[in-house]
């Protein structure tokens, strides 16, 4: 069977290669395969041009090489191409090889090694022959790599498959070179077969090219602040989107992820927060096209640190295996070309394209195991059933009334005292409750196995290249029933024919996701429900109970069981996207190019959220009187909510590029770029809710006579579908220019202007120019050019300004036409947008100074940058009188400041050959550091009148101070405050400075003369900021022979977080219902007088024993226990160090993958989110989650992956 497979492969692969190569040239006409030529002492270049003209073949050569060639004399009549080339190359210092329609000319110093198109190098030699193959570390054949025997005039090149054959003695050394790869010197040591893997020369400045989406800029000419990442250097199996791979990799980028649910999108911040009301997310650009989120999400939600985005972002549908590189543009000099959309930075993604060579088929398969949370984990700190029953016993002993519907211990006692059971039954039920220890986490979560497949094929020649890929991801969620399935595809074709270059690219993706609806609160339930409550009754049936609630009309019917809720409810999100891009470049003259880019993107997203009839969600919606048709709005079936969004994008761009030396000495280089772009986006959406839904009966709906069920009729009438349409048209003009003198000094400028009718009534306010000026000094080519240990040193300096606009603002009144209203017997309309004619652009000034360097032969590389950003006219909400028709108005009222430092280093302490087998040993360390200080310099909506603070901003409550959404002068954005804990009193109740019960009369009098903000300053103190000041990472890479080990640590410093609630809220309270579980910290609670000297955790108390608040509940707190959970005692440092990933890679040796009939094979064992070191007081609480929120989200889970990659 193996022999048969090998034979079939030998037959199929050449046929496949032939078909792919032939397909590349189908659009072109045929030329003659013979040559007629008569020349005497003619220049070689002129002869080659004539042959190309007659045959249609393209010559590929180095012009400097031809200067060494001899003049050609030839007389050919209808000679075959091979015969003609043999004649023309006779007595010349070069040889040729023919690949498809390309004739490759290669310089050879020793004619004994000149290959012909039908033979391998040195095929005629029989003694002292060394053979082998030269490939890249990605397994690609390096055709045309040069080989030289050190100290001898013997040389050669590799054929189209990377194979070579060269004459050499047993003790000789081979010098192997290839463009953009590091040179290797190999000792032969009597070996006959030597295969070599070449490493890319990443540290060579001239070969590093940065992409800003519109242009490709050599690093030696780069003046802006940009971080470039090669995808293969950050690829982490197990992660399915590239944004999650950026943690700890980009200095100056803050990453926050508050949920470990499958498909959850992380938050990214580049160099701080430059806006208050606008979105703070960076702009994503893929292959020069701006990408938008599949569904428009309001900035207020995206900026909310508690919001979990499960819908996806602009790049959720891109397969990381299709990505070549990522460039993060940070300062205005780099982002100016994108105008107002780039106020928060730009992330440019460049996808893969085909590479010249025979067809290369790559397949990657990753199997991942994700571990669910367990009560035995350090990150779960909840009571077991015995500890929880101890709480219930104490409550009964202290005669604390039972709240909610009793379960477990309380229900058994009440049944006994009510005469429903005898004493023996009571003992049995109490014993069963104590030993129950229901594993709620195991019931709602699971260990899962996920799979990811990626298949690609690429190839071509210097004239045309192709790349095609497909991918499938089945990512199962830790929460049962949740999953994400994604299908991706890409097809690209590139043509480089003389003056014409084309790039055609098509991508598509489809995703299917399923989640448990948010109203169920799966993780809240698992953490907050007493483990003394059973999942099943003793007879094996599901145990239902009525959840405790704070509702004034609680439902006491036993209708809740978590398995039933999860099985009979769901949320699905289905999306698909198609994008087609064509880029056509034509060289009008040397150094002057005309480029046209066309793009069409279409996406559709549909979200469904449903609850079946027999669920607790529907039971609660039916209300306390389900049998009353006048009161029950859902008498039949469940409900279905649907949200759909259809998005269509068109982009047409035309640009002119100029790049030319203006002098013969090539010292003065002038480059220019002018681009005009028209962009249009249309969003069409619809949202609806339909009662009476029966998904189990073929997705049907109940037919109800509303005369018999008036409550249902009223409900149905209120569920009117909402259709929304939004059209955005934009025209922009971008200009870029630079001047380079002698490769030492670079001066550059970028500008972009866009039109918007959303700002001002004066015409000069409708245009906003975004621009940047920057310069670069390549010191290594000037002052330090003779210093041997300096490879590269460059100083960068830039200044730029960026304007921003806010969606929905307009100088005009906009009326939304409404539907027919039978009450008024006419159509109705509402004011959608009030006029705001005086609103101006939000403006950010950006200053940046950077130094990049490479020393000691590339062993030490680094980039350090200092930046300062100031935003003026920041949009803020201002409170106005309701007589204006609204209470809030957007004004230019804020000044923001961001400043910090970025530092990226790369050390290579070891890079040498060891042992008898000459195995490479390489060790690299890459520390990344980014520090950002942010603050609000001025809030113009707050002012003092007669020495008293008057707040014209939106009315901030004490909750805004507690959760960090208040805006105060000279304070960072997301600064939060806490009550000042004083201690426990003799009853085990918390006491706070500024709210002492014994000082109630005095404080009432004092507070009556103060504004709310002044009161807050008395009872609260600043705790810190919720966003970190410093984030970064440390990566280490060790390679020895075929083995490679890499680890990446991510760290975060400077933010504070609240501990999870233990005295109030959903998962902790001083007076828990029988259904509530408690944090294990509550084991050490106050129990008896005198304990206040031993513990600071409040005790259990009856309402009759606690001190009643003496203030109005809206003044500065709800009660003393709510104050406790939001006190300074419950605030800890959010600093952490996380082992973000670890990866062990084995590259099969040439002998091994040849045995398998492969070009290359790699095995990878990896892990992500492996371990976190954080403040011990967190007691396992994920430092990325704060106790400020009402819910507990699933934390980031450890994941272990195995990947096999093969090159066929």
Q: Name the average pLDDT for the chain.
A: 85
Q: Are 712 and 635 in contact (CB under 8 A)?
A: yes
Token pair of 1135 as six digits? 């600093």
The pLDDT assigned to 542 comes to 95
Type and span of the H or E element at 1157: none
Write down how long the chain is: 1208
Distance set, CA 935 to CA 331, 631, 901, 958 (Å): 19, 52, 16, 20
Sign of CA dihedral 1061, 1066, 1072, 1078: negative
pLDDT at position 17 over 60: no
User: How confident is the model over 1007-1038, as pLDDT tens digits?
Assistant: 999 988 899 999 999 999 998 999 999 999 99
**Residue 834: pLDDT band with limits 50, 70, 90:** confident
The pLDDT assigned to 494 comes to 94
Tell me how far apart the alpha carbons of residues 1065 and 1192 are, in angstroms, rounded to a whole number: 11
Of the candidates 145, 133, 150, 208, the residue with the CA atom closest to the CA atom of residue 177: 145
Token pair of 343 as six digits? 């106020």
pLDDT top residue among 776 and 804: 776
Q: In terms of C-beta density within 10 A (0-12 exposed, 13-18 middle, 19 or more buried), how is residue 1128 classed?
A: middle
Tell me how far apart the alpha carbons of residues 1025 and 1029 are, in angstroms, rounded to a whole number: 9
The pLDDT assigned to 552 comes to 58
3-state secondary structure of 234: helix
User: How confident is the model over 510-527, as pLDDT tens digits?
Assistant: 999 999 998 898 998 998
pLDDT top residue among 829 and 469: 469
Cα torsion through 544, 550, 554, 555, rounded to 10? -20
3-state secondary structure of 19: helix
The pLDDT assigned to 774 comes to 95
Residue 442 C-alpha from the chain's centroid: 30
Q: Are 371 and 351 in contact (CB under 8 A)?
A: no
pLDDT at position 943 over 70: no
Token pair of 1147 as six digits? 């590259």
pLDDT at position 127 over 50: no
Residue % of the chain over a pLDDT of 70 = 88
pLDDT at position 140 over 60: yes
Over range 1051-1057, report the average pLDDT: 92
The pLDDT assigned to 776 comes to 96
Token pair of 167 as six digits? 């004459």
Say how many CA atoms lie within 13 Å of 647 toward its Cβ: 21
Segment among 191-195, 387-391, 960-964, 1199-1203 with least mean pLDDT:
191-195
The pLDDT assigned to 756 comes to 54
Say how many CA atoms lie within 13 Å of 1199 toward its Cβ: 30
Tell me how far apart the alpha carbons of residues 848 and 333 are, in angstroms, rounded to a whole number: 9
Distance set, CA 281 to CA 262, 301, 344, 375 (Å): 21, 12, 6, 36
**Residue 481: pLDDT band with limits 50, 70, 90:** very high
Over range 406-410, report the average pLDDT: 91
Over range 1164-1182, report the average pLDDT: 89
Cα torsion through 782, 784, 788, 790, rounded to 10? -100
Tell me how far apart the alpha carbons of residues 1042 and 1017 are, in angstroms, rounded to a whole number: 63
Q: Are 1005 and 1110 in contact (CB under 8 A)?
A: no
Token pair of 1163 as six digits? 């095995």
The pLDDT assigned to 1186 comes to 66
Q: Are 634 and 621 in contact (CB under 8 A)?
A: yes
Tell me how far apart the alpha carbons of residues 98 and 105 are, in angstroms, rounded to a whole number: 9
Segment among 125-139, 530-544, 593-607 with least mean pLDDT:
125-139
The pLDDT assigned to 535 comes to 95
Say how many CA atoms lie within 13 Å of 911 toward its Cβ: 14
User: How confident is the model over 68-108, as pLDDT tens digits?
Assistant: 788 888 888 888 888 888 888 877 877 777 755 667 776 65
Angle at 380 between CA 1202 and CA 481, to 5 degrees: 55
Q: Are 952 and 1090 in contact (CB under 8 A)?
A: no
Tell me how far apart the alpha carbons of residues 1116 and 1004 are, in angstroms, rounded to a whole number: 12
Tell me how far apart the alpha carbons of residues 361 and 409 are, in angstroms, rounded to a whole number: 64
pLDDT at position 764 over 60: no
**Residue 119: pLDDT band with limits 50, 70, 90:** very low
pLDDT at position 757 over 70: no
Of the candidates 513, 456, 507, the residue with the CA atom closest to the CA atom of residue 486: 513
pLDDT at position 214 over 90: no
pLDDT top residue among 614 and 968: 614
**Residue 596: pLDDT band with limits 50, 70, 90:** very high
For every residue of 662-701, which 3-state class applies, written as one string?
CCCCCCEEEEEEEEEEEEEEEEEEEEEEEEEEEHHHCCEE
pLDDT at position 118 over 90: no
Token pair of 561 as six digits? 């069981």
For every residue of 438-470, which 3-state class applies, written as one string?
CCHHHHHECCEEEEEEEEEEEEECCCEEEEEEE
Segment among 192-206, 562-576, 588-602, 993-1007 with least mean pLDDT:
192-206
With a CB cutoff of 8 Å and minimum separation 6, the contacts of 432 are: none
pLDDT top residue among 786 and 62: 786
pTM: 0.82
Distance set, CA 334 to CA 216, 219, 327, 596, 1134 (Å): 12, 13, 10, 22, 32
Tell me how far apart the alpha carbons of residues 888 and 894 are, in angstroms, rounded to a whole number: 16
User: How confident is the model over 166-178, as pLDDT tens digits?
Assistant: 888 888 888 888 7
With a CB cutoff of 8 Å and minimum separation 6, the contacts of 666 are: none
Segment among 110-119, 173-182, 840-849 with least mean pLDDT:
110-119
The residue with tokens 């999108």 is 265
Cβ neighbours around 794 below 10 Å, total: 25
Tell me how far apart the alpha carbons of residues 559 and 549 are, in angstroms, rounded to a whole number: 13
């Amino acid at each position: 069977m193996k022999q048969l497979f090998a034979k079939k492969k030998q037959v199929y692969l050449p046929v496949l290669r032939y078909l792919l190569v032939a397909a590349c040239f189908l659009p072109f006409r045929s030329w003659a395969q013979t040559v007629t030529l008569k020349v005497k002492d003619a220049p070689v270049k002129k002869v080659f041009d004539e042959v190309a003209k007659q045959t249609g073949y393209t010559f590929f050569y180095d012009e400097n090489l031809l200067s060494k060639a001899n003049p050609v004399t030839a007389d050919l009549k209808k000679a075959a191409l091979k015969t003609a080339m043999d004649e023309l190359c006779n007595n010349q210092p070069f040889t040729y090889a023919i690949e498809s329609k390309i004739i490759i000319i290669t310089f050879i110093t020793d004619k004994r090694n000149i290959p012909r198109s039908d033979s391998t190098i040195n095929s005629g030699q029989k003694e002292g022959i060394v053979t082998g193959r030269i490939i890249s570390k990605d397994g690609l054949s390096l055709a045309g790599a040069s080989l030289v025997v050190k100290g001898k005039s013997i040389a050669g090149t590799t054929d189209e498959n990377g194979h070579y054959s060269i004459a050499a003695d047993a003790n000789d050394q081979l010098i192997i070179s290839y463009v953009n790869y590091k040179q290797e010197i190999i000792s032969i040591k009597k070996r006959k077969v030597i295969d070599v893997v070449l490493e890319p020369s990443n540290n060579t400045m001239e070969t590093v090219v940065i992409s800003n989406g519109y242009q490709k800029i050599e690093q030696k000419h780069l003046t802006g602040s940009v971080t470039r990442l090669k995808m293969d250097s950050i690829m982490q199996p197990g992660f399915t989107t590239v944004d999650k791979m950026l943690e700890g990799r980009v200095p100056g980028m803050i990453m926050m992820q508050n949920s470990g649910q499958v498909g959850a999108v992380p938050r990214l911040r580049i160099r701080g927060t430059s806006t208050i009301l606008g979105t703070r997310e960076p702009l994503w650009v893929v292959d020069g096209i701006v990408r938008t989120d599949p569904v428009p999400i309001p900035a207020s939600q995206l900026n909310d640190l508690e919001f979990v985005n499960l819908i996806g972002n602009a790049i959720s549908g891109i397969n990381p295996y299709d990505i070549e590189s990522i460039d993060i543009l940070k300062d205005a000099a780099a982002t100016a070309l994108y105008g107002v959309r780039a106020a928060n930075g730009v992330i440019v993604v460049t996808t893969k394209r085909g590479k010249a060579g025979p067809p290369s088929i790559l397949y990657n398969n990753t199997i991942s195991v994700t571990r669910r949370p367990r009560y035995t984990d350090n990150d779960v700190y909840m009571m077991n059933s015995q500890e929880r029953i101890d709480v219930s016993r104490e409550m009964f002993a202290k005669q604390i009334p039972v709240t909610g519907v009793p379960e477990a211990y309380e229900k058994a006692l009440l049944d006994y005292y009510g005469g429903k059971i005898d004493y023996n039954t009571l003992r049995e039920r109490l014993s069963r409750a104590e030993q129950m220890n229901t594993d709620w986490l195991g019931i709602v979560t699971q260990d899962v196995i996920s799979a990811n497949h990626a298949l690609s094929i690429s190839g071509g020649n210097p004239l045309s290249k192709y790349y095609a890929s497909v991918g499938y991801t089945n990512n199962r969620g830790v929460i049962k029933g949740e999953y994400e399935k994604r299908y991706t595809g890409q097809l690209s074709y590139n043509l480089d024919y003389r003056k014409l270059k084309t790039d055609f690219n098509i991508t598509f993706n489809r995703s299917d996701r399923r989640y448990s609806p948010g109203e169920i609160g799966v993780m809240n339930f698992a953490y907050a429900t007493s483990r003394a409550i059973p999942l099943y009754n003793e007879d094996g049936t599901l145990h239902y109970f009525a959840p405790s609630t704070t509702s004034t009309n609680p439902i006491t019917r036993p209708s809740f069981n978590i398995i039933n809720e999860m099985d009979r409810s769901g949320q699905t999100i289905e999306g698909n996207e198609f994008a087609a891009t064509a880029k056509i470049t034509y060289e009008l003259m040397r150094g002057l190019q005309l480029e046209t880019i066309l793009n069409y993107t279409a996406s559709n997203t549909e979200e469904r959220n449903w609850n079946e009839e027999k669920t607790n969600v529907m039971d609660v919606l039916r209300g306390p009187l389900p049998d009353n048709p006048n009161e029950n709005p859902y008498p039949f079936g469940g409900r279905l909510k649907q949200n759909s969004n259809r998005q269509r994008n068109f982009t047409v761009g035309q640009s002119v590029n100029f790049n030319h030396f203006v002098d013969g000495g090539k010292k003065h280089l002038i480059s220019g770029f002018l681009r005009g772009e028209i962009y249009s986006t249309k969003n069409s959406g619809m949202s609806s809710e339909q009662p009476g839904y029966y998904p189990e009966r073929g997705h049907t709906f109940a037919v109800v006579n509303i005369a018999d069920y008036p409550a249902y009729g009223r409900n149905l009438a209120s569920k009117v579908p909402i259709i929304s349409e939004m059209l955005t048209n934009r025209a922009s003009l971008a200009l870029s220019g630079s001047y380079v003198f002698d490769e030492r000094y670079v001066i550059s400028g970028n500008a972009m202007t866009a039109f918007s009718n959303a700002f001002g009534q004066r015409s000069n306010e409708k245009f906003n120019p975004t621009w940047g000026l920057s310069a670069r000094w390549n010191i290594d080519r000037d002052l330090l050019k003779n210093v041997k240990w300096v490879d590269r040193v460059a100083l960068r300096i830039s200044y730029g300004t960026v304007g921003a606009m806010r969606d929905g603002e307009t100088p005009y009144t906009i009326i939304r036409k409404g539907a027919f209203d039978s009450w008024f017997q006419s159509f109705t309309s509402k004011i959608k947008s009030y006029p705001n004619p005086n609103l101006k652009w939000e403006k950010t000034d950006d200053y940046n100074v950077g130094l990049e360097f490479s020393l000691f032969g590339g062993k030490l590389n680094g980039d350090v940058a200092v930046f300062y950003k100031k935003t003026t006219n920041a949009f803020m909400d201002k409170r106005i009188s309701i007589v204006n028709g609204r209470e809030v108005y957007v004004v230019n009222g804020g000044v923001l400041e961001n400043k910090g430092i970025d530092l990226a280093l790369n050390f290579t302490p070891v890079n040498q050959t060891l042992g008898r087998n000459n195995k490479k040993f390489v060790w690299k360390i890459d520390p990344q550091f980014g520090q950002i200080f942010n603050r609000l310099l001025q809030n113009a909506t707050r002012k003092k009148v007669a020495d008293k603070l008057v707040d014209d901003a939106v009315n901030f409550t004490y909750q805004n101070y507690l959760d960090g959404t208040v805006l105060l002068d000279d304070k960072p954005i997301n600064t939060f405050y806490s009550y000042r804990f004083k201690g426990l009193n003799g009853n085990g109740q918390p006491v706070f400075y500024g709210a002492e019960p014994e000082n109630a009369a005095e404080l009432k009098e004092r507070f009556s003369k103060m504004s709310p903000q002044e009161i807050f300053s008395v009872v609260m103190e600043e705790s810190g900021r919720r966003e970190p000041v410093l984030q970064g990472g440390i990566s280490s890479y060790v390679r020895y022979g075929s083995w490679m080990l890499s680890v990446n640590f991510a760290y975060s410093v400077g933010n504070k977080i609240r501990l999870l609630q233990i005295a109030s809220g959903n998962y902790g309270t001083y007076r828990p219902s029988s259904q509530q579980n408690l944090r294990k910290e509550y084991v050490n609670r106050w129990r008896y007088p005198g304990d206040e000297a031993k513990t600071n955790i409040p005790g259990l108390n009856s309402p009759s024993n606690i001190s009643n608040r003496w203030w109005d509940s809206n003044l500065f707190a709800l009660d003393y226990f709510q104050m406790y959970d939001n006190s300074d005692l419950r605030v800890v440092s959010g600093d952490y160090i996380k082992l973000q990933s670890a990866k062990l890679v084995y590259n099969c040796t040439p002998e091994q993958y040849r045995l398998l009939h492969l070009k290359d094979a790699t095995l990878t064992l990896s892990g992500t989110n492996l371990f976190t070191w954080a403040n011990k007081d967190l007691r396992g609480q994920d430092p990325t989650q704060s106790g400020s929120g009402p819910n507990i989200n699933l934390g980031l889970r450890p994941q272990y992956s195995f990947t096999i990659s093969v090159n066929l």
